[in-house]
Structure 1
Amino acid sequence: MSDAYIIGADMIAFGRYPGKTPAQLGGEAALMALDDAGLTIDDVQVAYTGSSFTAGHSMCQQIMREIGQTGMPCVNVSNACASGATAVREAFIAIKSGLYDVALAVGTEMNPHGLLGGGPGAGLQPEGVFGSGSMPAVFAECGIVHAEKYGTTMEQFAKIAVKNRKHGTLNPKAKFQTEASLEEVLASDMIAYPLTKLMCSANVDGAAALVIVSEKKVKKLGMDRAVRIAGSGLASDPWEANNPELFDPNSVTRLAANQAFAMAGLGPEDLNIVEL
Structure 2
Amino acid sequence: MQLSPGFLSRGHGGSFGEPHIVDLHHDAARHVGDEPLLLAEHAPVAVTPNRAAGARLLMEKLGCDFLIMDDGFQSARLHIDFALVVVDTRYGIGNGRVIPGGPLRANIVDQLVFTSALLKMGEGTAADPVVRQAARAGRPIFEAHTEPRARERFAGKRFLAFAGIGHPEKFFGTLRQAGGDVVLAKSFPDHHFYAEDELAELAATAKRDGLRLVTTAKDAARLRHGASQEFLDQLEVLEIDAVFELDHVPERIIDETLDAWRQRKLRR
Report the TM-score when normalising by structure 1: 0.27
Q: Which has the higher strand share?
A: 2
Higher RCO (C-alpha 8 Å, min separation 6): 1
Report the TM-score when normalising by structure 2: 0.28
